[in-house]
Amino acid sequence: MNDKVRILVVDDEDVVRRCYVRTLASERCVVETASNGFEALQRMQDQRFDVVLLDLRMPGMGGMNVLKAIKARWPDCEVIIITGHPMLETAKESVTLGAHDYLAKPVGPDEVISATNKALLNKRWALRREPSPAQALMH
């Protein structure tokens, strides 16, 4: 069984993608990249990702449309918006659409790791089964 955490970094800037890969890749974590929204959705059709780090402003399909598509097709995938153009309106909209977090660039390695860990923790709690009434009485 493969229990490695799978992360997809979606950003049109190569240097940003490489930075996040360096920050997050480890023996317990596989990090892949996509340079635009269409490529991201194609990768997600081919394999499961636990967390997506998603830029908002990209050529072609913008991040908000990618977020909508991810949450419609893969609702258990956690999405962290990381944008160089933070605005209150987009922050509210992204959280309403199901983003776990919204970060403004530049984002340091510790902040990326912290946000990703929080998203993974949230996902684990969300995927836990509710105990049956009998199990609940035993605790």
CA 139 to mean position of chain CA atoms: 34
Whole-angstrom distance, CA of residue 89 vs CA of residue 12: 22
Contact 53, 10 (CB under 8 A): yes
Tens digit of pLDDT for each residue in 9-62? 999 999 999 999 999 988 889 999 999 999 999 999 999 999 999 999 999 999
Q: Look at the chain and count its residues.
A: 139
The CATH number corresponding to 5-138 among 3.30.60.50, 3.30.70.120, 3.40.50.2300, 3.40.33.10 equals 3.40.50.2300
Instruction: Identify the pLDDT of residue 3.
Output: 77
Confidence at residue 61, expressed as pLDDT on a 0 to 100 scale: 93
